[in-house]
Structure 1
Amino acid sequence: MTKIKEVVQVLEQYAPPAYQESYDNALLQVGDPNAIVTKVLVTLDCTLDVVQEAIDRGCNLIVAHHPVIFKPLKSLTGKTPVERVILKALQHQIAIFACHTNLDHVHNGVNAKLSQKLGLANTRILAPKTQLLTKLETYVPLEDTEKVLTALHQAGAGQIGEYSDCSFRVTGTGRFTPSTQASPHIGEPCQTEETIENKLEVIFPAFKQNQIMRALQQTHPYEEVAHYLVSLQNENQEVGAGMVGELEEPLETEAFVQHVKDSLQISTFRHTAWPQKPIKRVAVCGGAGSFLIRQAKAAGADVFLTADLKYHEFFESTEHMALVDVGHYESEVYTKELFYDILTKSFANFAVDLSSTHTNPVRHS
Structure 2
Amino acid sequence: MKVKDIARILEELAPLAHAEDFDNTGLLVGDPHTTVTGVLVTLDTLENVIDEAIRKECNLVISFHPIIFKGLKKLTGSTYVERVVMKAISNGISIYSMHTALDNSPLGVNAKICEVLGIQNPTILIPKKRTLKKLTTYVPKDQANALKEVLFNAGAGAIGKYDHCSFTTEGIGSFKATEGANPTVGAIGQTHYEDEAQINVVFSFEKEKNILQALFKNHPYEEVAYEIFTLDNQNQDIGMGMLGSLPKEMEEKAFLELVKQKMGTPTIRHSEFQGKTVKKVAVLGGSGAFAISAAKRAKADVFLTADLKYHDFFQAEKELLLADIGHFESEQFTKDLLVDHLRKKITNFAVALSESITNPIKYL
TM-score by length of 1: 0.97
CA RMSD of aligned residues (A): 1.3
Q: What's the counterpart of residue 39 of structure 1?
A: 38
Q: C-alpha distance in 1, partners of 2:315/2:159?
A: 35
Q: C-alpha distance in 2, partners of 1:16/1:81?
A: 28
Q: C-alpha distance in 2, partners of 1:92/1:276?
A: 56
Q: What's the counterpart of residue 167 of structure 1?
A: 166
Q: C-alpha distance in 2, partners of 1:168/1:234?
A: 17
Q: What's the counterpart of residue 140 of structure 1?
A: 139
**SS across alignment from 1:222:** coil
Q: What's the counterpart of residue 127 of structure 1?
A: 126
Aligned AA for 2:211?
A: I
Contact 2:42 2:63 survives alignment (8 Å): yes
Q: What's the counterpart of residue 104 of structure 2?
A: 105
Contact 1:276 1:320 survives alignment (8 Å): no
1:150 CA drift (Å): 2.3
Output one character per residue of 1:324-360: Cα deviation in whole Å (capped at 9) or x when no partner. Answer: 0011000001100111121111111312111111111
1:186-335 maps to which residues of 2 (within 5 A)?
186-335=185-334
Contact 2:265 2:326 survives alignment (8 Å): no
Output one character per residue of 1:168-200: Cα deviation in whole Å (capped at 9) or x when no partner. Answer: 112222222222332110111122222222111
Aligned length: 364
- Which of 102-111 and 301-310 deviates more? 102-111
Output one character per residue of 1:120-155: Cα deviation in whole Å (capped at 9) or x when no partner. Answer: 111111111111111000111133223322221222
**SS across alignment from 2:344:** helix
Structure 1, unaligned runs of 5 or more: none
Aligned AA for 1:143?
A: D
- Which of 42-51 and 157-166 deviates more? 157-166
Aligned AA for 2:295?
A: A
Query: Percent identity, aligned pairs only?
Result: 47
Aligned AA for 2:49?
A: V
Q: C-alpha distance in 1, partners of 2:127/2:213?
A: 28
**SS across alignment from 1:171:** strand
**SS across alignment from 1:293:** helix
Q: What's the counterpart of residue 351 of structure 2?
A: 352
1:202 CA drift (Å): 0.6
**SS across alignment from 1:337:** helix
Q: Does 1:184 align with 2:183?
A: yes
Aligned AA for 1:254?
A: K
1:319 CA drift (Å): 2.1
Output one character per residue of 1:11-56: Cα deviation in whole Å (capped at 9) or x when no partner. Answer: 1232122221222110111122112222111110000011111111
1:294 CA drift (Å): 0.4
Aligned AA for 1:58?
A: E
1:83-94 maps to which residues of 2 (within 5 A)?
83-94=82-93
Output one character per residue of 1:205-248: Cα deviation in whole Å (capped at 9) or x when no partner. Answer: 12322222111111101011111111111000011111111101
Output one character per residue of 1:268-292: Cα deviation in whole Å (capped at 9) or x when no partner. Answer: 2111112221100010110000000
Aligned AA for 1:241?
A: M
Output one character per residue of 1:48-90: Cα deviation in whole Å (capped at 9) or x when no partner. Answer: 0111111111211110000000111111121111111111111
Aligned AA for 2:61?
A: I
Q: C-alpha distance in 2, partners of 1:227/1:279?
A: 50
Contact 2:106 2:239 survives alignment (8 Å): yes
Q: C-alpha distance in 2, partners of 1:320/1:52?
A: 47
Q: C-alpha distance in 2, partners of 1:267/1:30?
A: 35
Contact 1:45 1:68 survives alignment (8 Å): yes
Aligned AA for 2:27?
A: L
Q: C-alpha distance in 2, partners of 1:74/1:93?
A: 21
Structure 2, unaligned runs of 5 or more: none
Q: C-alpha distance in 2, partners of 1:324/1:124?
A: 20
Q: C-alpha distance in 2, partners of 1:132/1:253?
A: 37
Q: What's the counterpart of residue 118 of structure 1?
A: 117
Q: C-alpha distance in 1, partners of 2:198/2:171?
A: 7
**SS across alignment from 1:106:** coil
TM-score by length of 2: 0.97
Q: Does 1:362 align with 2:355?
A: no
**SS across alignment from 2:254:** helix
**SS across alignment from 1:157:** coil
1:255 CA drift (Å): 1.9
Aligned AA for 1:346?
A: K
Q: C-alpha distance in 1, partners of 2:77/2:254?
A: 49
Contact 1:110 1:286 survives alignment (8 Å): yes
Q: What's the counterpart of residue 149 of structure 2?
A: 150
Q: What's the counterpart of residue 337 of structure 1?
A: 336
